[in-house]
Amino acid sequence: MVAEQVGASASEQKKQGPASGRDGPGLSILVGKAKEVIQQAIADPITYLANWGRTYSLWPVHLETACCSIEFGAVSGPRFDAERFGVLEAFGSLRQCDLIVVHGTVTRKMAPRLRMIYDQMPEPKWVIAMGACSITGGVYFDSYNVLPGVDQVVPVDVYVPGCPPRPEMLVDAFILLQDKIRNSNIR
């Protein structure tokens, strides 16, 4: 009931036109972003187009290493929908992916296999290290078999702390990664 009322009032605002005083800061941000987009598109259209395509279709590999993968499953679910960011896990093989999210603990036995999977992905590719165990070894820092940090085998772009991180934090990580890609040069 409340949602319907809010939705109705928002659409009423839109019908009144952009000059109405109620839109305020939202409108100026929208105009600022539109200006940025047009500047980039005119200055370097190939880069802009390539980055636009890469940003909004990040496909992750199904590499569930440890318990953080449950949170990743929650992010892929209907409540914290990851597919609205382009991050969908429905594909054929890892040769079609460009994102690898390392969920959790990586043991010394798993580390060469992780590197093998990372090497098989085609460029460009990005890595998100999710959870305390993949950043520094987490709770198992002193273990004889746990790699203290996955950035010893793969180059990490975004670190997501937490044990496990809330699904909203992982969504924030996707947005950070999208910002990084949008502002990068293509090779």
Partner 1 sequence: MAESATGTDVPSREQSISSEFSQFGEKAKVAFTKKNRLKVMVRREDLVDIATFVRQKLMFDHCTNVTGTDFPKEKELEITYHFGSTDGAGLRGMILSLACRVPSGDPTLPSLISIFPSADYHERETAEMIGAIFTGHPKLGRFMLPEDWSDIPPMLKAYRLPGRLEAE
| Binding characters for partner 1, 121-150, by CB under 8 A (x = yes) | ---------------------x-xx-----
How many residues at the interface with partner 1, by CB under 8 A?
A: 6
Decide whether 15 or 109 has the Cβ nearer to partner 1: 109
Smallest gap, in angstroms, from Cβ of residue 152 to partner 1?
12
Decide whether 20 or 145 has the Cβ nearer to partner 1: 145
- List 109, 119, 123, 183, residue binding partner 1 (CB under 8 A): 109
Cα–Cα distances (Å) from 36 to 30, 54, 68, 107, in that order, read 10, 18, 36, 44
Report if residue 107 touches partner 1, rule: CB under 8 A: yes
Report if residue 108 touches partner 1, rule: CB under 8 A: yes
| Binding characters for partner 1, 25-64, by CB under 8 A (x = yes) | ----------------------------------------
Decide whether 107 or 184 has the Cβ nearer to partner 1: 107
Q: Using CB under 8 A, list all residues that contact partner 1.
A: 107-109, 142, 144-145
